[in-house]
Structure 1
């Protein structure tokens, strides 16, 4: 195995000098952002998308980009594509996964991860990430234009608190996974004018007992899912549990679907804030 890896590294070092920027994107959000920044020709390969459903225009362009893994790719697979840059999850850059930051840098690879995808992510940190990405890929002007458009759109939907509570839920099984008061989606929901019922929890994702959830006053529920089918499955599980039957969210049918990709770093955070604020998210119509 080591001999094979050494072979790929040698070939990689030779090929790097013959190529311009060659990116391996290792997250669904970095892949989406790069394509929307018209950088798809620089993407040598992409992976670690966790079966997330992309928008149709992104899916179309992904047809021409090799998909190297659903989860973490092997080191051998990485070096096969001779990357000059690897962009994606921070957790990718460990010895256990594709190699430490030091190892990758020693092999001539520039690395970049989005701090805004971490527990402490905010809209402001996303803007910092985008500027760093622009500098790395030599597209600073394009990035500044995108940030300007996002900022202008966010101002349109920076509503005052509507007095409505919202629950973000991911896993609806025995140990439900929820969104707390940290992270990018919390920052976005604040712009939309809602109050996260678990906003006092200093985490982005956390687990809680059902007893702690149902005691909350819940006006709206947003179910995070990889696609519409996944949403409907989680929605039906909630119905069958019966925990929320007396909540406003159920009586008013304010239970919505939000794709995981919209909770991650994106050029569309203003649109996400608008959809949450105006309840323009998909929901299951009653009696259907």
Structure 2
């Protein structure tokens, strides 16, 4: 009987060990299959149609880019927000300091130029993707879109940079970039975070009728005539999302040149100053405060000024920050 019992014990032990081994092997195989599916998931080509300097282009991405170059701060930060720094081989044309959370990643990417790089410098890094402001796709600035395509480069033009740009356009651009670089889940994560943060900011001020909104003058530059943020484009939408009433909202383009007489006539309650370039915020502020024609407008008399960077007012990840700063400047009592 002892021999039979011992034999039964050994059979059970080996059976259990065999089952455990089989289950472990099965689990490992399933994990490998999941990883293989992620790596070998078929790329879905995506096509864009653009008009760039009067020429129509149809551009198809057949695979995710591996060597991206960004020729504007907003696009640099959009790709960094998607965690694509290892796919970037160059950046250029910064308006302001890099967004702090991207500083480390940004410093790992070569800077090709403070402004636009030459065509030779751009082509030397072998990019397969180039994006930025439309002006980059011009042989007088960098290279034409045709020249880029002839050299194996796919140009990408963001929806949100045009005169009809908006926050919804920014979300669309993130989704498009997510598809192009095969990081759709990350793109949705970025969009969700932006929407949640913006809603939280807007909820603090509650519902405000148009009559209750502060009248806002957004000054970009210009001394003889002011160059201003108008009603179109992402900058105009940022003012609307911040519950401000842009005094030049009726002009249906992103920026416009107006007259000082018009500014005086509309008597803004707050002046937003866009900070960038050689003429910094303080210089612009002093110019406005000392301008003879503006001495009697409400914003000057009450010294209500809000500073925003050009990078914050450009399309992209920083739009949340712009809205927060503007809302606090427009309705400070809501944040006391």
Regarding TM over 0.5, the answer is yes
Residue in structure 1 matched with residue 309 of structure 2 by the alignment: 259
Residue in structure 2 matched with residue 113 of structure 1 by the alignment: 157
Equivalent of residue 144 in structure 1, options 174, 188, 198: 188
Contact 1:172/1:238 (8 A) holds in 2: no
Distance 2:224 2:97 in 1: 25
Deviation >4 Å, runs of 4+: none
1:77 Cα deviation after fit: 0.5
Equivalent of residue 244 in structure 2, options 178, 188, 194: 194
Contact 1:228/1:257 (8 A) holds in 2: no
> Structure 1 residues 227 and 60 mapped into 2: Cα distance closer, same or farther (>3 Å)?
farther
Equivalent position SS for 2:329: coil
- How do 1:120-135 residues align onto structure 2 when only pairs under 5 Å count? 120-135=164-179
> What is the RMSD computed on CA atoms of the aligned residues?
2.3
1:163 Cα deviation after fit: 2.5
Equivalent position SS for 1:35: helix
Distance 2:330 2:265 in 1: 27
List per-residue Cα deviations over 1:99-127 (Å, max 9, x = no partner): 33233223221221212112221111111
Contact 2:214/2:330 (8 A) holds in 1: no
Residue in structure 2 matched with residue 30 of structure 1 by the alignment: 75
Residue in structure 1 matched with residue 208 of structure 2 by the alignment: 160
List per-residue Cα deviations over 1:176-211 (Å, max 9, x = no partner): 100111010111111111110011111211111211
Task: Identify, as 1 or 2, the structure richer in helix.
Answer: 2
Contact 1:172/1:237 (8 A) holds in 2: no
Contact 2:65/2:129 (8 A) holds in 1: no
Q: Do residues 53 (structure 1) and 97 (structure 2) align?
A: yes
Q: TM-score, normalised on structure 2?
A: 0.72
Q: Do residues 104 (structure 1) and 162 (structure 2) align?
A: no
> Structure 1 residues 112 and 196 mapped into 2: Cα distance closer, same or farther (>3 Å)?
same
Residue in structure 1 matched with residue 223 of structure 2 by the alignment: 173
Aligned length: 262
- In structure 1, the gaps of 5 or more residues are 1-18, 282-288
Contact 1:25/1:46 (8 A) holds in 2: yes
Q: Do residues 216 (structure 1) and 261 (structure 2) align?
A: no
1:138 Cα deviation after fit: 1.0
Distance 2:65 2:139 in 1: 27
Equivalent of residue 84 in structure 2, options 34, 39, 45: 39
Residue in structure 2 matched with residue 286 of structure 1 by the alignment: none
1:237 Cα deviation after fit: 0.9
Equivalent position SS for 1:243: helix
Q: TM-score, normalised on structure 1?
A: 0.83
1:229 Cα deviation after fit: 7.5
Equivalent position SS for 1:111: strand
Distance 2:254 2:264 in 1: 20
1:140 Cα deviation after fit: 0.6
Is the deviation greater in 34-43 or in 166-175?
34-43
1:79 Cα deviation after fit: 1.2
Distance 1:236 1:85 in 2: 42
Which of the two has higher C-alpha Rg? 2
List per-residue Cα deviations over 1:115-173 (Å, max 9, x = no partner): 21122211111111111111111111100111112222223344534331001001141
Equivalent position SS for 2:271: strand
Distance 1:79 1:227 in 2: 27
Contact 1:157/1:191 (8 A) holds in 2: no
Contact 1:45/1:66 (8 A) holds in 2: yes
- In structure 2, the gaps of 5 or more residues are 1-63, 332-336
